[in-house]
């Protein structure tokens, strides 16, 4: 498996897959091999199909995890082994999309006020003001904060892409104060040493703890601030395509999810029944 694993990792790297995806794909192939107790090169389409049904019916994997496993195995057999994908009648599972948790603007203010340190406050403000993913935040460098153009360069965007987002005028002085106090090196928000970016779990724990201190009843994660950023922009009339660019979404339909969670956007919809009842009656014949 070591030679095949190396080849799989090389093929994924050549196609610019993210490290997290590479780890997930290699783990999916390894688990298939462990299930049958032999090299995946010796496992045929019917056995793969049986294994996927086992994951679905017995292991009760979520639709997203099963879909990821299908993608990983298909990539391995086509790109690494050079075989056609002949696994029949196992289709991608439909994901049950849940509406995201969103904070109100007042709740965001309470969260920021509850931050224990300047660093925590700077992280929370950066996540919310720019709608960043956690990985994007962790890999910010000091030079990415471009005050002359009032923008932030996002290097570690999803899919290996880069983009710019607006730099908040409220955030800038906070980051300047943070920089003077903490003196970051390569990474704007460093971890245990200045040579390492802050760990994702560190940020997650900090956000959860700060939400508790703020007295928020909702479950709050770093991604909650990204959802809140998009929803609040929508509520204040920002064009959906601008929000799509700011979030780094490839498809507008992904961004359109926020039209379903914005109370203010919903309140602007007038039911056709209301229009009917508000219409003046027709004059008598």
CATH of domain 2-80: 1.10.150.130
Instruction: Please name the fold of domain 105-267.
Output: hpI Integrase; Chain A (1.10.443)
The answer to whether 2-80 and 105-267 have equal CATH topology is no
pTM, 2 dp = 0.66
Residue 257: pLDDT above 90?
no
Q: Which residues are catalytic?
A: 133, 158, 223, 226, 249, 258
- pLDDT, tens digit, for every residue of 200-235? 999 999 999 999 999 999 999 999 999 898 888 888
- pLDDT, tens digit, for every residue of 103-118? 999 999 999 999 999 9
Domain layout of the chain by residue ranges: 2-80, 105-267
What is the pLDDT at residue 58?
86
Residue 97: pLDDT above 80?
no
- pLDDT, tens digit, for every residue of 153-181? 998 777 667 888 889 999 999 999 999 99
What is the pLDDT at residue 283?
64
What is the pLDDT at residue 24?
93
Secondary structure of the chain in HEC code, one letter for each residue: CHHHHHHHHHHHHHCCCCHHHHHHHHHHHHHHHHHHCCCHHHCCHHHHHHHHHHHHHCCCCCHHHHHHHHHHHHHHHHHHCCCCCCCCCCCCCCCCCCCCCCCCHHHHHHHHHCCCCHHHHHHHHHHHHHCCCHHHHHCCCHHHEECCCCEEEECCCHHHCCEEEECCCCHHHHHHHHHHHHCCCCCCCECCCCCCECCHHHHHHHHHHHHHHCCCCCCCCHHHHHHHHHHHHHHCCCCHHHHHHHHCCCCHHHHHHHHHCCHHHHHCCCCHHHHHHHCCCCCCC
């Amino acid at each position: 498996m070591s030679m095949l694993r190396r080849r799989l990792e090389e093929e994924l790297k050549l196609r610019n897959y993210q490290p997290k995806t590479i780890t997930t794909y290699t783990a999916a192939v390894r688990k298939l091999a462990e299930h049958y107790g032999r090299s995946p090169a010796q496992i045929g389409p019917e056995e793969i199909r049986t294994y996927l049904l086992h994951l679905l019916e017995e292991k009760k994997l979520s639709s997203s995890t099963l879909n990821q496993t299908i993608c990983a195995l298909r990539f391995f057999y086509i790109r690494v082994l050079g075989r056609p994908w002949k696994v029949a009648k196992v289709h991608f599972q439909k994901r049950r999309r849940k509406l995201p948790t969103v904070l109100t603007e007042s709740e965001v203010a309470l969260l920021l006020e509850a931050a224990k340190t300047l660093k925590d406050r700077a992280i929370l403000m950066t996540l919310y003001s720019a709608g960043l993913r956690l990985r994007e935040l962790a890999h910010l460098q000091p030079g990415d904060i471009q005050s002359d153009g009032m923008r932030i360069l996002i290097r570690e965007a999803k899919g290996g892409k880069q983009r710019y987002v607006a730099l908040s005028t409220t955030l800038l002085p906070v980051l300047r104060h943070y920089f003077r106090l903490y003196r970051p090196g390569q990474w704007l928000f460093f971890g245990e040493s200045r040579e390492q970016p802050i760990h994702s779990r560190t940020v997650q724990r900090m956000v959860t703890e700060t939400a508790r201190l703020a007295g928020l009843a909702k479950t709050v994660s770093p991604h909650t601030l990204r959802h809140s950023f998009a929803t609040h922009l929508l509520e204040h009339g920002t064009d959906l395509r601008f929000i799509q660019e700011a979030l780094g979404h490839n498809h507008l339909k992904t961004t359109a999810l926020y039209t379903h969670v914005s109370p203010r956007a919903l309140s602007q919809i007038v039911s056709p029944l209301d229009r009917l009842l508000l219409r003046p009656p027709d004059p008598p014949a």
